[in-house]
């Protein structure tokens, strides 16, 4: 998921006045990760809870 320039400007406009650049970047990265996760879920690119832990246990031997 990529954001348009307008979406980024709108996002920044909603940040608190005392928000630092570091805080803004952190929030923008979080938003991008959430959007990517939702997109992956919509496209079936997810692993259910049990499958994840089965795979994790298999890696541990």
The pLDDT-based confidence of 2 (bands split at 50, 70, 90) is confident
Distance of alpha carbon 43 from alpha carbon 60, whole angstroms = 29
The pLDDT-based confidence of 60 (bands split at 50, 70, 90) is confident
C-alpha torsion sign, points 8, 12, 14, 20: positive
Q: Is 4 helix (H, G, I), strand (E, B) or coil?
A: coil
Q: What is the mean pLDDT of the chain?
A: 92
Q: State the pLDDT at residue 34.
A: 94
Tell me the domain boundaries of the chain. 5-60
Distance of alpha carbon 24 from alpha carbon 4, whole angstroms = 16
Report yes or no on whether pTM surpasses 0.75.
no
Distance of alpha carbon 25 from alpha carbon 9, whole angstroms = 13
Share of the chain above pLDDT 70, in %: 97
Segments of 1-61 assigned E as strands: none
């Amino acid at each position: 998921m990529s954001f348009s320039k307008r979406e980024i400007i709108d996002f920044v406009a909603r940040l608190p006045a005392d928000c630092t650049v570091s805080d803004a970047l952190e929030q923008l990265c979080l938003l991008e990760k959430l959007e990517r996760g939702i997109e992956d879920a919509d496209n079936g690119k997810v692993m259910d809870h049990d499958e994840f832990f089965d795979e994790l246990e298999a890696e541990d031997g």
